[in-house]
């Protein structure tokens, strides 16, 4: 993506990633690393207090805002909303617990968030569509999460149009339903991309591209294409035994290649 040569720090994207639980630290960090690899200027990582040290060690560019405890709860929502008021985009959901207490806090956070949203994993609930109607959000479910939201696989276009959102359905072939109801297919990749964390990386990269003012459907298409191409490249060297961290390392080059192709 082209950027203004006279721009200043923060003008090329500020992203917050909110995720993690007492037993899961990797999911939000992989999202944040993918957003970072996508070229955003500033990353804010909000994770359980127990994981704040590993978050700080994951990247020197992460500004870490821990929850009050080891799970997201209602007491954390005011602090997070204050932070989101200064963000371009928030990626919410990777690794969050699905206890009743966390889901109640999560619902309030999503409904009141003042910035552009990318919602993944635990943030994809039966109430999600109502909470984000006409908020220009991107939802990144796999088939099981799509069913949890109450959306039929064959009706993602009408659902996206009704609620004014973009739905990026992950699978062997990804499908993006834009807010006007059109559905686009993204092919490629291989079964190595079933490794844990690739969906978190996809959500983070979409969030990073959205923060840099890429349109929702274009951000989904670019991020999906990059992740799938990375899987193809890694498969040639390692077969299916590659990691999400290795996928993320290829993001800058592949994004540049897409720019050069004019896609």
**CATH topology classification for 14-255:** 3.40.1190
Place of tokens 């993204």: 186
For residue 7, give both structure tokens.
């721009």
The SS3 call for residue 222 is helix
Give the rounded percent of residues in the chain with a pLDDT score beyond 90: 92
Q: Which residues contact 122 (CB under 8 A, 6 or more apart)?
A: 19, 93, 94, 95, 96, 97, 98, 102, 103, 106
* Number of residues that this document lists for the chain: 263
* Residue of 204, 197, 258, 254 whose CA lies nearest to 35: 204
pLDDT at position 4 is 66
Task: Report d(CA 96, CA 106) in Å as an integer.
Answer: 9
pLDDT at position 12 is 81
Q: pLDDT digit string (tens) for 147-190?
A: 999 999 999 999 999 999 999 999 999 999 999 999 999 999 99
Q: CA end-to-end span of the chain, whole Å? A: 10
For residue 203, give both structure tokens.
């959500």
Q: pLDDT digit string (tens) for 5-63?
A: 766 666 789 999 999 999 999 999 999 999 999 999 999 999 999 999 999 999 999 99
For residue 100, give both structure tokens.
């009743």
Whether the predicted pLDDT of 250 surpasses 70: yes
Domain boundaries, the chain: 14-255
Q: In degrees rounded to 5, what are phi and psi of residue 240?
A: -85, 0
pLDDT at position 141 is 98
pLDDT at position 6 is 60
Confidence of residue 263 (pLDDT cuts 50, 70, 90): very low
């Amino acid at each position: 993506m082209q950027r203004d040569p006279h721009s200043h720090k923060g003008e090329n994207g500020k992203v917050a990633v909110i995720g993690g639980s007492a037993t899961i630290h990797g999911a939000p960090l992989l999202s944040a690393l993918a957003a970072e690899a996508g070229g955003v200027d500033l990353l804010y990582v909000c994770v359980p207090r127990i994981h704040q040290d590993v978050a700080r060690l994951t990247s020197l560019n992460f500004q870490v805002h821990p929850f009050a405890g080891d799970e997201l709860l209602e007491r954390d929502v005011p602090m997070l909303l204050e932070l989101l008021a200064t963000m371009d985009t928030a990626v919410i959901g990777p690794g969050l617990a699905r206890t009743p207490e966390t889901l109640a806090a999560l619902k309030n956070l999503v409904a009141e968030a003042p910035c552009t949203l990318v919602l993944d994993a635990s943030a994809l609930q039966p109430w999600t569509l109502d909470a984000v109607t006409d908020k220009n959000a991107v939802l990144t479910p796999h088939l099981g999460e799509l069913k949890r939201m109450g959306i039929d696989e064959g009706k993602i276009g009408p659902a996206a149009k009704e609620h004014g959102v973009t739905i990026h359905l992950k699978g062997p072939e990804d499908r993006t339903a834009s807010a006007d109801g059109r559905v686009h297919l993204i092919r490629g990749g291989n079964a190595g991309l079933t490794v844990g964390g690739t969906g978190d990386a996809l959500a983070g990269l979409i969030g990073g591209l959205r923060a840099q003012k890429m349109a929702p459907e274009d951000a989904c298409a670019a991020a999906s294409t990059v992740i799938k191409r990375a899987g193809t490249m890694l498969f040639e060297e390692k077969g299916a035994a590659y990691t999400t961290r290795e996928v993320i390392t290829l993001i800058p080059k592949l994004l540049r290649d897409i720019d050069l192709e004019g896609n």
